[in-house]
Amino acid sequence: MSDQAASDSKEVVFDRLGHLVRSLHDTLREMGADAVLSEAAVEFPSARERLLHIGQLTERAANTVLTRVEECLPVQDRLIARAQALRDAPPSAEETTGFLAEVEQSCVITRAKLSDMMMAQDFQDLTGQLIKKVVTVLERTEQDLLRLLIDAAPPGTISEVKKEELMAGPGAPGSVALEQGDVDDLLADLGF
């Protein structure tokens, strides 16, 4: 395919997409659903911002955990080396007391780092709530678009789906599904 043909093909796709969006917008406005458009226009940027925020929280937590683990490893390595040295030669009372003091200090440091790691995970509750909100926005939009397609479908293009078929794998939510050929015909009837 030549560069010109590829460019023309992209223009056709974008032109068709533009017509589809304009048609959807006009149809919703004619049906009195301007509020749906306004709400969706507000919710989608909000959903995108929420997902970006989740990504930032997740990255921050991962960095905190990795940093704290890296800080704990040398503390633990020193304890291991000191314990091995004491095991290999009978320690004096002074060496044993020094080692116990080092163990205590190392435990305090390690405990603080573990606490930091635990606190870094507090984003989990917040991200779970944000993800649920984004999914709700997407589900509502999907349902609205599906309902619009079903309502605008020519008679005979919608088939009932048995519950067993729904349990067999992915499909349209609910008990109604459009076949791909019917969707193509519907879009063609609408001028797309």
Q: Flag the least confident range among 53-62, 99-108, 159-168.
A: 159-168
The predicted structure's pLDDT at residue 171: 45
Range of the domain at 71: 33-152
Q: Is residue 83 within 8 Å of 76, Cβ to Cβ?
A: no
Kindly state whether residue 8 falls inside one of the protein's structural domains. no
pLDDT of 160 above 70: no
The total domain count for the chain is: 2
pTM for this predicted structure = 0.48
For residue 113, the tally of other CB atoms under 10 A from its CB is 19
Same domain, 47 and 139: yes
The residue with greater pLDDT, 170 or 39, is 39
pLDDT of 46 above 50: yes
Same domain, 60 and 116: yes
Highest mean pLDDT among 25-39, 112-126, 154-168: 112-126
Same domain, 97 and 127: yes
Same domain, 171 and 120: no
The predicted structure's pLDDT at residue 186: 56
- CATH number assigned to the domain comprising residue 46: 1.10.287.500
Distances (CA, A) of 164 to 103, 168, 169, 175, 176: 62, 6, 9, 11, 13
The predicted structure's pLDDT at residue 172: 42
Same domain, 92 and 112: yes
Same domain, 131 and 173: no
Same domain, 166 and 139: no
Kindly state whether residue 100 falls inside one of the protein's structural domains. yes
Q: Which pLDDT tens digit goes with each residue over 117-141?
A: 999 887 777 777 777 777 777 777 7
Same domain, 160 and 67: no
Q: Which pLDDT tens digit goes with each residue over 66-105?
A: 999 999 999 999 999 999 999 998 899 999 999 999 999 9
